[in-house]
Amino acid sequence: MNRSTSRDLYDRALDVLPGGVNSSVRATRPYPAFVERGDGGHVIDADGNRYIDYVMGYGPLLLGHDLPESVQAAVQSTLSEGPMYGAPTEIEVELAEFVARHVPSVEMCRFVNSGTEATVSAVRLARGYTGRKKIVVMQGGYHGAQESTLVEGSPDDPRPSSPGVPQSFAQHTIPVPFNDQEAIEAVFEAHGDEIAAVLTEPLLGNTASVLPVEGYHERLRELCDESGALLIFDEVMTGFRVGGLQCAQGKLGVKPDLTTFAKIVGGGFPAGAIGGPAEIIESFTPAGDVFQSGTFSGHPVAMAAGLETLRYAAENDVYDHVNRLGEKLRTGLTEITEDRAPGYTVLGTDSMFKLVFTRGDAAAPGPACEAGCRQDPDCDRFDRCPKTGADVEQSETERWERLFRPAMLDEGIFLTANQMESQFVS
Ligand code: PMP
């Protein structure tokens, strides 16, 4: 496949953009395919090569690249009035009303511009509301490029995961293994009255879609209730994708105190939100005293795109459709790998999927589960499904970037740069 234009563009980009990109995950070896345009479920690169797109902007594009007429019309008519005002507009009220109507734990929202901004504000809100400092996060979880969560290590030894994050910041963050009830119980036993919040993705979407075991989130809910900590679900990736309009919290039947959104809520434009009950959300300025602000927040074009995307999903069988496609893909991948590469594991749920390359040893994730891992305790492979970020990290992650992704690209299939990020169908 000829990608010489992409190679030349990358060469130029390397002179003016660090690593040639504006988000680290985009820099694939030996050079990324530069995209020229989207077309339904495909992207077309600068050399005219066409790929089936399973990246979908890293999640925001629930409806693929061809926005329905209603979404396009809303975006264009909003834009034609002027790009933004720095004053309230009706469209942000409508989107907040929509989110509050559908997401079980949400009465109010504060809109921001990205997932990172949403989690930054949610952490500050939790600390301000509780008057406590510590934040519990999951090892292998991701909450954006922010100081409080770029932390790795163990509960007793939290360390910054990037230069530039002071150890004095990391010391307020407690990373625990996902799905491990004993580990989180021990943390609450030791630090219960210092914990402002447990911040977790409903499933580890940034570590190959590891699903929660039965009862895990319920236990988090109980521990938070007992100690007065807030439970924050980071639904930046799962929001309006897993569990449809109710989001993953609706599917799991567990109500967090706060929820962070981004990606789909902006319909392909930069938007994010922090949602929750009025009692907590009204701690944000100017209703309360926890400072929060943003020039572009509630940007009218992003609000219009998000609202019309979600309305379209509500009025059409979008979730049945994408979830059926996801199921079909996971089942097909499972059948193929079972036959030809039984050590591999297919993970995912709803419209998310991921293939994990295992080495086949007992500690690593086992053979593919039927139609993806469901963490079903009655399944005879339950013990061998990845439960934590570390389980997935033991797999041969390098094989993805070295062999699998480049080979798939040459077959016309566009996948994320690394093995950890989930893939999406539209
Ligand atoms: N939280 C989660 C769960 C995410 O998946 C991401 C992005 N992949 C973020 C936060 C950060 O969002 P953004 O890239 O919009 O800042």
Q: What is the ipTM of this complex?
A: 0.99
3-state helix, strand, coil in the chain (%, to 5): 40, 20, 40
Does the bond joining 202 to the residue before it have cis omega, within 30 degrees of 0?
A: no
Rounded Cα distance, 175 and 389, in Å: 11
Pocket residue to mutate for ligand 1, from 120, 148, 206, 241, most atoms within 8 A of Cβ: 206
Pocket residue to mutate for ligand 1, from 111, 120, 143, 178, most atoms within 8 A of Cβ: 143
What is the per-residue burial (b if ≥16 Cβ within 10 Å, else e) of 249-286? bbbbebbbbbbbbbbbbbbbbbbbbbbbeeebbbbbee
Q: Does domain 69-315 have CATH number 3.40.640.10?
A: yes
Rounded Cα distance, 314 and 266, in Å: 15
Task: Answer yes or no: pTM beyond 0.90.
Answer: yes
Which atom of ligand 1 is nearest the CA belonging to 117? Answer: 16
Among this protein's residues, is 263 annotated catalytic?
A: yes
- Is the separation of the CB atoms in 115 and 262 below 8 Å? yes
Rounded Cα distance, 317 and 38, in Å: 22
Å from CA of 417 to ligand 1 middle: 16
Question: How many Cα atoms sit within 13 Å of 255 on the Cβ side?
Answer: 10
Which uninterrupted H or E stretch holds 222? helix 216-227
Rounded Cα distance, 105 and 243, in Å: 14
Which uninterrupted H or E stretch holds 232? strand 230-234
Å from CA of 117 to ligand 1 middle: 9
Å from CA of 289 to ligand 1 middle: 26
Report the pocket of ligand 1 as residue ranges, CB < 6 Å: 58, 114-116, 119, 142-144, 201, 205-206, 234, 236-237, 262
Please, where in the chain does CATH 3.90.1150.10 lie? 4-66+318-424
Bridge partner list, 356: 345
Rounded Cα distance, 309 and 43, in Å: 20
pLDDT per residue, tens digit, the chain (426 aa), is: 999 999 999 999 999 999 999 999 999 889 999 999 999 999 999 999 999 999 999 999 999 999 999 999 999 999 999 999 999 999 999 999 999 999 999 999 999 999 999 999 999 999 999 999 999 999 999 999 999 999 999 999 999 999 999 999 999 999 999 999 999 999 999 999 999 999 999 999 999 899 999 999 999 999 999 999 999 999 999 999 999 999 999 999 999 999 999 999 999 999 999 999 999 999 999 999 999 999 999 999 999 999 999 999 999 999 999 999 999 999 999 888 888 877 788 899 999 999 888 755 434 444 445 435 567 787 767 776 788 888 888 887 788 888 888 999 999 999 998 888 999 999
Q: Cβ neighbours of residue 266 under 8 Å, at least 6 residues apart?
A: 60, 272, 302, 305, 306
121-147: pLDDT as tens digits: 999 999 999 999 999 999 999 999 999
Does the bond joining 30 to the residue before it have cis omega, within 30 degrees of 0?
A: yes
Rounded Cα distance, 201 and 141, in Å: 7
Please, where in the chain does CATH 3.40.640.10 lie? 69-315
Q: Does domain 4-66+318-424 have CATH number 3.90.1150.10?
A: yes
